[in-house]
Amino acid sequence: MISVRDLTKSYGDHQVLHGLTFDIKPGVMTGFVGGNGAGKTTTMRILLGVLSPDSGEVLVDGSPITADHRAGIGYMPEERGLYPKMTVIDQLVYLARLHGSSAEAARARATDLLERLDLGPRATDKLEELSLGNQQRAQVAAALVHEPIALVLDEPFSGLDPHAVDTTLQVLRETADNGVPVLFSSHQLDVVERLCDELVILADGRVVANGTRQELLERHAETEWELAADTDAGWVRCAPGVRVTSLDGGWVRFHAESGDAANAVLREASSRGTVRAFGLVHHSLHDIFTEVTR
Amino acid sequence: MNAQARPAPARTPFWIAVGLVAGREMKVKMSSKAFVVTTAIMLGLLLAAVLVGPRLADWLGGTAGADVAVTAETAQAVGALGDSYDLRTVGSTDAAREAVRAGEVEAAVVPDEAGPAGLAVVGLDSAPTDLVQALSTTPAVELLDPNAAAPGLQYLIAFGFGIVFFTIAITYGQQIAVSVIEEKQSRVVEILLAAIPAKAMMAGKVIGNSAMALFQVALVAGVLLLGMQINETVLPLDGLGAPILWFVLLFAIGFVMIASLYAAAASLVSRQEDIGSTSLPVMMLIMLPYFAVIFFNDDPQALRIMSFIPFCAPVAVPLRVFLGQGETWEHVAALGVLVLSTGLAIWFAATIYERSILRTGKAMTWSQALRSRAV
């Protein structure tokens, strides 16, 4: 497990991280969410040792992270980049060897990865000859080519078409299933929602929410009910144990003290006319994000 | 492949990482069309110049095989000059003059009782100098200090060492700069830094490019020697052997120093266009020895001082060795100073490189990079 403890970092007068603490568990995909300038990239750079924090530390299974351990991490920086004039396969082999793989192992692994990412036929093309989407896949391959012991990916899905997102996702999932901790940041909340087992939400250099999606929902979003009926639903305002949050003709959304109170509303509604829909409101990550970063 | 079962990760050892980076630099260069083509053209031109140069004089109106009219009396004297002249024996002095006037021969040699040599050379509109010289006798010359270098030669050698140092250092220094900026501009540097230390990256670049520079210099030297072999001329190395060895040794070290500084200069900027501003100080350091030897090559004291200035040493020390100035220990001490300052320069450059390689945007100044903490 990789643990981030009380990280702080300033650039000049501007403090970017204010005591950041969270865990990245093995075998789990942890989503790292936050607005622009929230500190995601800075945190990732510190994890990789590319930047050093002003205070705080990064632990691996309880002891401070070593350069050896860091060299085993697969990293996809926010600023994409590989050698434009080198062939895809050559740079993957080069990067794997810098991480300590033997030449043969590096080549075998790179070939296999390109195959899995649907880039097999492009292996001997120069990077600059690939489409942007394919360059992005090559970048994913670059993070995985040395059989990383952990993955840190900054916006791995930006610029990918839905098909490429699926392929990449599958590869990442397989990696996580092998017991590797995976941390990735994304602006695309729907993607994060679909993929992540755990979430760390960042705002202004602080962790504002942290846990599984279910935990976050329970902690940050009150249970809400929704009712849609043919007749005007204004009467719900007066129902006992109920607080209406929004109302529009026959459609109403409300908090209820208990399931019984909500059921009473349903009974009343069906006696007044046809009920077209009734149920719990599904809160999306977007709602939680908006709430906790407000 | 279970993560738990895998051996503990280990960072690639420093020198292996350096080797990998250097290997890539060399491979990229070797497979670059621009490098291969320009090298081939340069070597081709060089070989042509070596082969053609000495023959050029012969081809352009040389007197080889010139026709010369002789009379019975002078035939023997001219015949003794060898195959350079085709003899045409004519009956009389007048006939010989007539042959020259008619353009049948280029010159004539006729008997001349009055002259000290007993011969006279007849030309049409200008004196056939070669022939006159060939027929003249020269007095014996005795040199009291035959080993002293001619002033012209001294200047030429100083200039030669200076220009070789200057061109190679600038050419390859700039290539290192380009390759550093390329990595910074394409952002690949961040991935690389996550795998290996910045110092290993810089060392690999400097070593790889230095190796290529020496390789290209070796090619040039090889082609020159090959050309001379074909020409069957001997390298005019009299007294130059030791200075050249000193030059190669000092140049190899000094080049590493300059290459590191170029890498540091390049790490300060994010775009190729900005390299001029930060590499200017390095450029000055390279031009220093070039101009210094041109101005001071006949001043022993100045040369002595220059041999202890690291940037001038690769030019000044070989020159002093050639001129027989200074004791051997002085040259060794100069070498020591150069090695020491190269070590310092590498350390300095690595520090700058480490602190600035991830800063993108506006070009940093040298002092900004020095004052900033390592990121």
ipTM entry: 0.75
Contact call for B375 and A99, based on CB within 8 A: no
**What is the average per-residue pLDDT within B119-139?**
79
Contact call for B187 and A71, based on CB within 8 A: no
Answer whether B34 touches A (CB < 8 Å). no
Contacting residues of B for A154, CB less than 8 Å apart: none
pLDDT of residue B54: 65
Contacting residues of B for A70, CB less than 8 Å apart: 11, 194
Min distance B240 CA to chain A CA atoms (Å): 44
Answer whether B26 touches A (CB < 8 Å). no
Contacting residues of B for A76, CB less than 8 Å apart: 191
Min distance A175 CA to chain B CA atoms (Å): 9
* Pairwise pLDDT comparison (B82 vs A22), residue with the higher score: A22
For the segment B189-199, what is each residue's pLDDT rounded down to a tens digit? 888 888 888 88
CB atoms within 10 A of CB A66: 15
Q: In angstroms, how far is the first alpha carbon of chain A from the final one?
A: 30
Residues near B125 by beta carbon (within 8 Å), at least 6 away in sequence: none
Least CB-CB distance to B9: which of A72, A76, A81? A72
**What is the average per-residue pLDDT within B82-98?**
81
Least CB-CB distance to A98: which of B9, B17, B360? B17
**What is the average per-residue pLDDT within B276-300?**
82
Which tokens in the block code for residue A80? 């994409």
Least CB-CB distance to B191: which of A26, A51, A95? A95
Residue A5 has pLDDT above 90, yes or no: yes
pLDDT category of residue B233 using cuts at 50, 70 and 90: low
pLDDT category of residue B162 using cuts at 50, 70 and 90: confident
Contacting residues of A for B10, CB less than 8 Å apart: 68, 71, 100
pLDDT of residue B1: 41
Contacting residues of A for B20, CB less than 8 Å apart: 94, 97-98
pLDDT of residue B129: 78
Burial class (CB in 10 A: 0-12, 13-18, 19+), A294: exposed
pLDDT of residue B375: 47
Contact call for B194 and A80, based on CB within 8 A: no
Antiparallel, parallel or unpaired: β A14-24 and A2-11: antiparallel
pLDDT of residue B361: 65
* Pairwise pLDDT comparison (A74 vs B232), residue with the higher score: A74
Residue A263 has pLDDT above 60, yes or no: yes
Residues 302-361 of B with CB under 8 A from A: 358, 360
Convert A166-211 into a string of H (helix), E (strand) and C (coil): HHHHHHHHHHHHCCCCEEEECCCHHHHHHHCCEEEEEECCEEEEEE
Question: Which of B26, B187, B188 is the best substitution to test chain A (most A C-beta atoms within 10 A)?
Answer: B188
pLDDT of residue B2: 43
Contacting residues of A for B31, CB less than 8 Å apart: none
Min distance B269 CA to chain A CA atoms (Å): 17
Mean pLDDT of chain B: 81
The answer to whether residues B10 and A100 touch, using CB atoms and an 8 Å cutoff, is yes
Lowest mean pLDDT among A83-97, A149-163, B157-171, B205-219: B157-171
Contacting residues of B for A69, CB less than 8 Å apart: 8-9
Lowest mean pLDDT among A14-23, A75-84, B60-69, B155-164: B60-69
pLDDT of residue B342: 92
Name A211's bridge partners: A199
For the segment A194-235, what is each residue's pLDDT rounded down to a tens digit? 888 898 998 888 898 888 887 887 777 677 889 999 888 888
**What is the average per-residue pLDDT within A50-71?**
89
**What is the average per-residue pLDDT within A188-196?**
81
Global confidence as pTM: 0.74
Residue type (1 letter), A28: V
Which tokens in the block code for residue B179? 């390759």
Lowest mean pLDDT among A78-87, A283-292, B21-30, B266-275: A283-292
- What percent of chain A clears pLDDT 70, i.e. is strictly above it? 99
Contact call for B194 and A180, based on CB within 8 A: no
pLDDT of residue B294: 76
> CA geometry: angle at B267 spanning A98 and B169, to 5°?
95
**What is the average per-residue pLDDT within B71-97?**
80
Instruction: Name every residue in A having a CB less than 8 A away from some CB of B.
Output: 26, 45, 48-52, 67-73, 75-77, 79-86, 94-95, 97-100, 142-143, 147, 149, 178-180
* Per-position DSSP letters for B124-162, written without gaps between them: SSS--HHHHHHHS-------SSTTSPPHHHHHHHHHHHH
pLDDT of residue B366: 83
* Pairwise pLDDT comparison (B151 vs B241), residue with the higher score: B241
Contact call for B187 and A81, based on CB within 8 A: yes
The answer to whether residues B148 and B298 touch, using CB atoms and an 8 Å cutoff, is no
pLDDT category of residue B204 using cuts at 50, 70 and 90: very high
Distance CA A72, CA B6 (A): 11
Least CB-CB distance to B195: which of A52, A83, A95? A95
Which secondary-structure segment (H or E) carries B51? helix B33-59
**What is the average per-residue pLDDT within B296-325?**
85
Nearest CA in chain B to A95: B192
Contacting residues of A for B186, CB less than 8 Å apart: 81-84
pLDDT of residue B56: 67
Min distance A162 CA to chain B CA atoms (Å): 25
Residue A94 has pLDDT above 90, yes or no: yes
Min distance B24 CA to chain A CA atoms (Å): 8
Contact call for B375 and A50, based on CB within 8 A: yes
Nearest CA in chain A to B359: A51
Residue B23 has pLDDT above 50, yes or no: yes
Nearest CA in chain A to B182: A83
Contact call for B11 and A147, based on CB within 8 A: no
Residue in A51, A52, A49, A42 with CA at minimum distance from that of residue A70: A49
pLDDT category of residue B285 using cuts at 50, 70 and 90: confident
> CA geometry: angle at A40 spanning A36 and A42, to 5°?
110
Number of inter-chain CB pairs under 8 A, A vs B: 93
pLDDT category of residue B276 using cuts at 50, 70 and 90: confident
**What is the average per-residue pLDDT within B131-154?**
70
